[in-house]
Amino acid sequence: MRAPRIDNLQYANWSGKIFRQMRAGGLDAVHVTIAYHENFRETVLNVESWNRWFERFPELIFQGRTAGDVRLARETGRTAIFFGFQNPSPIEDDIGLVEIWHGLGACFMQLSYNNQSLLATGCYEARDSGISRMGREVIAEMNRVGMVIDMSHSAEGSTLQAIEISSQPIAITHANPAFWHKALRNKSDTVLRALGDSGGMLGFSLYPHHLNGGSGCTIKDFAEMVARCADMIGVGALGIGSDLCQDQPDSVVTWMRNGRWTKSLDYGEGSAQAAGFPKQPNWFRDNRDFGNLAAALKGVGFDVAEVDAIMGGNWLRFYEASFGGMA
């Protein structure tokens, strides 16, 4: 059987076409975002939408909750869909909702999106107060139930503190190193090293604003960046979190950036002149292009075992260690 292939972040405009492309790309598991700004009830509606997808396409997808579900997906030729939040908004101000959400299958939660949350600070704030009083309580509760802390959009100090406070390794599901492309969302050497030293995982993003050269980034440049990260923090900490937002209308990226928090328009990583979703690089347009990544990694000198680890093996090991929770 081929090595496991996992994409640890997508937020597409879901369709049967995309689920078929996941199969064409050989994806055994995909972590999908089910909340950007949604509160508890709104996120439940998103779960309901997913339940309808699972009901319509049982031969292609099913809801994943454990590492065992990735194995089941491989055995049955389907893709296991794991839920996650890019913002703690689905738990609102209620720590009891962490366990409720774990019961509904949420496996990842960012402690903040771009702004300050009740738990931590986002990378777009001017000042970073680190993990708040509620944040410490929520981290302990996430550790207890087996929900992974994701700091992809969080500010540096908050991220370092989360790594320190959490009794479980954390994830940066979708970001790239700042040494390769300076973006607020990409991560400093300090964060990458702390992540690697603590057994955490970095998922490389294919979202153009996170790529050196944007939409024009070359696959070789990308693969060489992965190799530098492997030298820095070890192959075992690396995976893919493509941040693929396939087929989404531009209104969706406006919603991601603005939610309900501002009356003026925030352009995030874009600009008034380029407010929409950026164009994907031509070597990573959709789920069918994961083979291109594997080939490029081989091309910069990774051996087969290393390529397999980065393309899914590392995430699978991390899932095994993380989703157990309460014994």
**33, 243 Cβ separation under 8 angstroms:** no
In whole angstroms, give the CA distance from residue 61 to residue 105. Answer: 15
CB of 3 to a second copy, least distance (A): 40
Picking from 164, 217, 221, the residue whose alpha carbon sits closest to that of residue 191 is 164
- Please state whether beta strands 106-110 and 79-85 pair in parallel, antiparallel, or not at all (unpaired): parallel
From candidates 1, 48, 55, 127, binder to a second copy by CB under 8 A: 127
Bridge partners (DSSP) of residue 62 are: 80
Give 141 or 224: the residue with its C-beta nearer to a second copy.
141
x/- mask, a second copy, residues 249-268, rule CB under 8 A, reads ----------xxxxxx-x--
Q: At what angle do helices 189-197 and 156-165 cross, to 10 degrees?
A: 10
Nearer to a second copy, 116 or 280 (CB): 116
124 binds a second copy (CB under 8 A): yes
SS3 content of the chain, % helix, strand, coil (to 5): 45, 15, 45
134 vs 252, which CB is nearer to a second copy?
134
Q: Tokens 């070597």, residue?
A: 283
Binding segment toward a second copy, per CB under 8 A, in 102-110, 126-134, 162-170, 186-194: 126-134
With CB under 8 A, what is the number of residues at the site for a second copy? 34
The answer to whether the beta carbons of residues 180 and 131 sit under 8 Å apart is: no
Q: Which is nearer to a second copy, 75 or 94 (CB)?
A: 94
- Work out which of 3, 72, 134, 275 binds a second copy, going by CB under 8 A: 134
Is 184 a binder of a second copy (CB under 8 A)? no
In terms of Cβ atoms closer than 10 Å to its own Cβ (0-12, 13-18, 19+), residue 267 is middle
DSSP 8-state secondary structure symbol assigned to residue 277: P
**Would you give the DSSP letter of residue 288?**
G
- Tell whether residue 121 is a contact of a second copy (CB under 8 A): yes
The string of DSSP codes covering 29-66 is: EEEEEEESS--HHHHHHHHHHHHHHHHH-TTTEEE--S
- x/- mask, a second copy, residues 54-93, rule CB under 8 A, reads -----------------------------------x--xx
Least distance in Å: CB of 260 to a second copy? 4
- Among 21, 79, 117, 159, interactor with a second copy by CB under 8 A: 117
Stretch 263-292 residues interacting with a second copy (CB under 8 A): 263-264, 266
- Minimum CB separation of residue 11 from a second copy in Å reads 19
37 binds a second copy (CB under 8 A): yes
Q: Is 48 in the site for a second copy (CB under 8 A)?
A: no
Regarding 320 and contact with a second copy (CB under 8 A), the answer is: no
CB-nearer residue toward a second copy: 130 or 177: 130
Closest Cα partner for 260 from 135, 123, 18, 89? 89
Name which position in 17, 44, 104, 137 contacts a second copy (CB under 8 A).
137
**Among 64-72, 114-122, 192-200, 278-286, the segment contacting a second copy (CB under 8 A):** 114-122
Q: Return the half-sphere exposure (C-beta side, CA atoms, 13 A cut-off) of residue 30.
A: 29
Distance (Å, rounded) from C-alpha 244 to C-alpha 224?
21
Which residues lie near a second copy (CB under 8 A)?
A: 37, 39, 89, 92-96, 115-119, 121, 124-130, 132-135, 137, 141, 259-264, 266
